[in-house]
């Protein structure tokens, strides 16, 4: 699967389920389980509930994703 086939969406961390796994709520109120990418783990230490993140998801499995960074928008 190429990067063109991935879906990138912003969401809000609802719950941290360990060091690198979080539950993220998307704008359409859908919740996904997302883990932090290795690059994201190197850039920032940890996440807490309420932080806005960018999640990359496969169009084949919309129940899980990868956190690739923090969101730059201020809402």
| pLDDT one-digit tens code per residue, 21-71 | 999 999 999 999 999 988 888 887 778 899 999 999 999 999 999 999 888
Position 49 scores a pLDDT of: 92
Residue closest to 41 by CA, chosen among 64, 23, 17, 66: 66
Residue 71: both structure tokens together: 């969101």
CATH code, domain with 22 = 2.40.50.140
User: What pLDDT is stored for residue 42 in this prediction?
Assistant: 83
Which pLDDT does position 58 carry in this prediction?
A: 93
Q: Is residue 75 part of a domain?
A: no
Q: Residue 40: inside a domain, yes or no? A: yes
Instruction: Note down the domain range covering 51.
Output: 3-70
pLDDT of residue 67: 94
Domain assignment of residue 50, yes or no: yes
CA distance 52 to 29: 14
| Tally of domains within the chain | 1
């Amino acid at each position: 699967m190429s990067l063109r086939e991935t879906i990138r969406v912003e969401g809000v961390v609802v719950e941290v389920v360990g060091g690198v796994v979080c539950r993220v709520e998307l704008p359409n109120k859908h919740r996904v389980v997302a883990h932090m990418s290795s690059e994201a783990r190197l850039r920032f230490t940890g996440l807490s509930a309420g932080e806005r993140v960018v999640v990359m998801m496969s169009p084949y499995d919309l129940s899980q994703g990868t956190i690739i960074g923090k969101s730059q928008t201020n809402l």
